[in-house]
Structure 1
């Protein structure tokens, strides 16, 4: 728990040390970048104001720092930083300032609140996120895939009999995939690369290993859907593929290496969307929905970055517009 010392000087280097001790939970590599970016700002602030006391950090200082980042050039007169790098630095500062303001508010207001990212960066299509109502419809259809799409449709042959499941259908796998997408915000490429040994059923965490290891938290219904798939379907396909990959192709598939493709994930998603009466939404729409959900619950872009694994925090900060819209709705409703 954060405690103020008796000789508290309220300087930003103290706040930075405690920020990394109590708040930041990103990877070591990301933390190095965060510390480097915040330290760069503190050096600038000291050079401009002669102090790094918290209440000397004003909107004017923030705007001056942003201009300073854009104005620096190399020996050939070219910008030292591209817009993406500048946005990363500003995003790290916005998250740092927001944390300070939550614990010990600035005299006027958060000095990074009105600082905007550049218009030339990559913008996320947040508006295409699935809504909470659409999520419920998707999961409802996913829960009923066995009866909706997996049973034989031969009315004559099974007129008075219980219809069998089609041999190539994998309703429990498809259900688990839909749950994994909506309940983690995971990318398609990560879904197909999950290995069964990297699923921690006790802590409800899924680890994806690439150049770096990413950790996704999954909800209780999500992890239960994965358990159902493993218990009821995966074994018959494992006999053929002998693969450690969690989501396996059907054993009826003649070719392949025991791994699904992004195209298969798209087909599963589109099939469920069609049954749910939802159009225009992609698997990535569930990723945006997770970002929006976390922002509404925490108001913290760092929490989004942690769950979704954004390398550039500027992407996570874009979800802040959800809170801005919420504030507008509240004020207009007065």
Structure 2
């Protein structure tokens, strides 16, 4: 238990003050910067909502009714849509807000006087929202083949077009990194990594990391991959991903690393992007952008409606990998746990659902 400084009044009734103490003593320096920022943002939202509704931010006035009303508000209008108007917040995000609020009140109950929270943590009495069934989509073998075909030709889609670009000038758009994008897509489909895990990878985690050794290597791996729940696992890298990574490391990464401060990340944003982070590390959202672009290029090349992808997401690659791994490993649960970084049976079942084309084939002649 963290003891309060002598200057802190355990009978104080300001939610703003207690939240700041909680962040200083239990969150900052303990949780990652990304998580700390998220918790801070969630607590500030609740404090602002309480103050706006009651005219004050007294901790003693926070009841289960108030927390439930905040939950319902977030679910109905907690986001801002593209048109600038209020929009619903996803159930999982609302529940994340509730979990952070509950952690704050549990901490306050431990350190404050008994009179401040006479009935304990008000957030614990508020049920989280029921989560919708996860959308699962593994690509069929024919779709995977055409996706890889597009990825292998990705450089042609980034070429500058028009008469004025013919000749000795640059062939590609300034921010285009086709070899990096190709390596990312092959890694997603060949390892089942989550987008956050991909951007968190450091070059030193790839073994071997030298392109000349990586290409002929019979076994390559990513060590110490950090996943959800503080899991840590080794991920093997297949042939397609090995070759794509070697091409990227040899031809593109060196140039972007030269413009970065301590460029430890495996995948770097283009050095030409003014707003990129000092260390060059990409954001998880950028993985969405890359994968969605591949999906659009894919569908533009395909005339058969049954093979079109619609919106392609990073998790579609994870589901595709999980189903294929399940088939090839004889539904080996231990292997699925190790490679996917999930011990939860519910998620293992979700990730290994077959594509519709395969599932339909099971009953075709029954």
**Length-normalised TM-score, structure 1:** 0.57
Q: CA RMSD in A?
A: 2.8
Pair 1:319–1:259, CA change in 2 (3 A): closer
SS at match of 2:222: strand
TM-superposition CA deviations, 1:2-56 (whole Å, max 9, x none)? xxxxxxxxxxxxxxxxxxxxxxxxxxxxxxxxxxxxxxxxxxxxxxxxxxxxxxx
In structure 2, C-alpha distance between the alignment counterparts of 1:260 and 1:184, rounded to whole Å: 19
Mind listing any 5+ residue stretches in structure 1 that lack a counterpart? 1-119
Which residue matches 2:342?
310
Task: Give how far 1:231 is off.
Answer: 0.2
In the TM superposition, what whole-angstrom CA distance separates every residue of 1:139-163 from its partner, at most 9, and x where no partner exists? 11111111122x212x221356686
Q: How many residues align?
A: 212
* Relative contact order, higher structure (CA 8 A, sep 6+): 1
Other structure's SS at 1:192 match:
helix
Q: Is the 8 A contact 2:323 2:353 kept in 1?
A: no
Partner of 1:141: 150
Q: Quick check: 1:204 aligned with 2:204?
A: no
Structure 1 residue 280 corresponds to structure 2 residue 311 = yes
- In 2 relative to 1, CA 135–330 (structure 1 residues): closer, same or farther, beyond 3 Å? closer
1:193 matched to 2:200? The reply is yes
Q: Are the aligned partners of 1:305 and 1:313 in contact in 2 as well (CA < 8 Å)?
A: no
Distance 1:309 1:157, change over 3 A: same
Residue in structure 1 matching 2:236, options 183, 197, 217: 217
Shift of 1:304: 1.6
2:323 aligned with 1:292: yes
CA distance in 2 between partners of 1:142 and 1:260 (Å): 20
CA contact (8 A) 1:182 1:286 kept: yes
Q: Deviations over 1:169-190 (max 9, x none)?
A: 1111111111111111110000
SS of the aligned residue for 2:267 comes to coil
Q: Secondary structure of 2:311's match?
A: coil
Using the TM superposition, give the Cα deviation of residue 236 of structure 1 relative to its aligned residue in structure 2, in angstroms.
0.4
Kindly report which structure 2 residues correspond to 1:90-239, keeping only aligned pairs within 5 A, or say none: 123-126=133-136, 128-149=137-158, 151-153=159-161, 155-159=162-166, 164-201=171-208, 202=217, 203-207=219-223, 208-209=225-226, 211-239=230-258
For 1:273 and 1:302, the matched residues in 2 are separated by 32
Which residue is 2:36 aligned to? none
Shift of 1:309: 0.7
Is the 8 Å Cα contact of residues 192 and 317 (structure 2) preserved in structure 1?
yes
Alignment TM-score, normalising by the size of structure 2: 0.52
In structure 2, runs of 5+ residues without a counterpart are 1-129, 209-216, 300-308
Q: How big is the shift at 1:333?
A: 2.5
Cα distance, 1:230 vs. partner? Answer: 0.2
